[in-house]
Amino acid sequence: MGEFHRALAAADLPPGQCAEAAVGGKAVAIFNVDGRFYAISNTCLHRGGPLGQGMLSGPSVMCPWHAWSWDVTTGENTANPELKVPSYPVKVEDGQVLVQVD
């Protein structure tokens, strides 16, 4: 199993918010869904939009470019679950959000 890498401070990402982070050389989108943190690839499968700049509603993020919607807990497209962006394990330690990307 790969290592967990620091993405950001948990206090910097309130519930309902999303952020982009470079984690272990990968562009990752981080989400706070009611106090639980999730991480998926930052790159939308449609045209590469930045999912960490999207709009989070419950567990779904809407891509800021053309409004495709993704379940941040699984990486699945909400309209077509056969489309899936990578999702990554997350843990919080000492107030830091850590993501395992490899």
Inter-residue contact 84 to 77 (CB < 8 Å): yes
Rounded Cα–Cα distance for residues 18 and 58 (Å): 12
Q: Among 49, 71, 76, 97, which residue interacts with ligand FES (rule: CB under 6 A)? A: 49
DSSP string spanning 6-49? EEEEGGGS-TT-EEEEEETTEEEEEEEETTEEEEEESB-TTT--
Which DSSP symbol is given to 77? B
CB of 27 to ligand FES, least distance (A): 14
**Stretch of 4-12, 33-41, 63-71, 82-90 contacting ligand FES, by CB under 6 A:** 63-71
63 touches ligand FES by CB under 6 A: yes
Q: Among 27, 59, 65, 74, which residue interacts with ligand FES (rule: CB under 6 A)? A: 65
44 touches ligand FES by CB under 6 A: yes
Return residues touching ligand FES (CB under 6 A).
44, 46-49, 63, 65-68
